[in-house]
Structure 1
Amino acid sequence: MNDALANSRKLQDFLEKEIVLMRSLDQLLIEEQIVLTNNEAEKLGTITPEKNNVLMQIVELEKNRNLFLSAIGYTPDARGMQDFFAATENSDKLEDNWKNLLSISSDAQEKNRTNGLLISRQLSRNQSALNILQQNTQTGSMYGADGQSKNNSTTGRGIIAG
């Protein structure tokens, strides 16, 4: 087997694994978006660790792919991939997988941006609610240490049952 074919197979292996992981990440981002839209923040506790795990695997694969590109004489980046395609015969399937990976990555990036906006919006709502609650007293606390309201809105006598 010649070097070009072996190199193509190795890069194909990297890309196929990256595509699987990027699809997983994309799906997790969809789930995260649903949870954020439905205001079910408690469910983020299961999605976030999964998402972080997938991201770490993607970063590791990308790093290894780039190291491999360097080892075979190409720059460790998208330009290096394009140069490899240009220098290699019958790299159409490999190039299609590369374009597929870039497309999935772009979709995931947009979903991640949207999720960030949803999180910011929710944080803003939470802060507004806290501000409203804290406006009710000058001390910022509605209840004293005894659990009784600090707001004495009743003047005069209370209700007398009799």
Structure 2
Amino acid sequence: MSGVQFQEIAKLLTKEVELMNSFVSVLQREEQILSDNQADKLEQIIGEKNLVLSDILVIEKQKNQLLSQLGFAIDAEGMKAFLATSSHEQSIHESWKQLLELSAQAKESNRVNGLLINRQMVKNQTALNILQQTDQNAAVYGADGQSKTTNSSGRSFIAG
């Protein structure tokens, strides 16, 4: 393995850690927006999230190409094998460890955000169900907007 390839992987790993830090930060802001029920800010945060993810994928692809050229698998096991050949270089080991920690943090944040989104969807569906009552006899207002009640014979009449 050439020193140039090793240094290139080290640089890419450092860049990936920076991007993953940004991604975790965006996920945390998304969680706050979801918790505060600020739907108007979701579009912007989703755009930011997609940009960072796109950048991460580019760096990951470049890193995987280098690993492959060096004869390593392009997965976590391949990275571990690569790191085993570079035991003298502590900084790259620290970057990998940091990347794994950030990935776990991002996974958890994404899980929490999914729960928050699901909770909001349930609330919205409940509200829609109330607004779109399926039992027309239970409707408080008729199609014309007038109050509607049902007498004991089951016939509707317009109230006052």
Shorter chain as denominator, the TM-score bin is 0.7 to 0.9
Match of 1:76 among 56, 74, 80: 74
Counterpart residue number, 1:29? 27
Letter in 1 for 2:148: N
% of aligned pairs identical?
A: 39
2:136 alignment partner, SS class? coil
Aligned counterparts, 1:75-114, within 5 A: 75-114=73-112
The Cα RMSD (Å) is 2.4
- Partner deviation per Cα, 1:95-122 (whole Å, 9 max, x = no partner): 1101101101110110001100100010
- Partner deviation per Cα, 1:25-59 (whole Å, 9 max, x = no partner): 10110110001001111110110011011111111
Match of 1:116 among 88, 103, 114: 114
2:37 alignment partner, SS class? coil
Shift >4 Å, 4+ stretches = 139-143, 154-157
What is the TM-score with the length of structure 2 in the denominator?
0.85
Q: Is the 8 A contact 1:21 1:54 kept in 2?
A: yes
What is the TM-score with the length of structure 1 in the denominator?
0.84
Counterpart residue number, 2:154? none
Letter in 1 for 2:100: L
Counterpart residue number, 1:44? 42
The structural deviation recorded for 1:74 is 1.0
Relative to structure 1, the CA distance from residue 134 to residue 9 in structure 2 (aligned partners, 3 Å threshold; closer, same or farther) is same
Counterpart residue number, 2:129? 131
1:56 to 2:54 alignment: yes
Relative to structure 1, the CA distance from residue 43 to residue 68 in structure 2 (aligned partners, 3 Å threshold; closer, same or farther) is same
The structural deviation recorded for 1:128 is 0.5
1:55 alignment partner, SS class? helix
Letter in 1 for 2:69: A
The structural deviation recorded for 1:139 is 9.1
Q: Is the 8 A contact 1:134 1:140 kept in 2?
A: no
Q: Is the 8 A contact 1:22 1:105 kept in 2?
A: yes
Relative to structure 1, the CA distance from residue 10 to residue 24 in structure 2 (aligned partners, 3 Å threshold; closer, same or farther) is same
**C-alpha separation between the residues in 1 aligned to 2:118 and 2:47?**
20
1:74 alignment partner, SS class? coil
2:124 alignment partner, SS class? helix
Structure 2 runs not aligned, ≥5 long: 151-156
- Partner deviation per Cα, 1:59-84 (whole Å, 9 max, x = no partner): 12111111110001111111111111
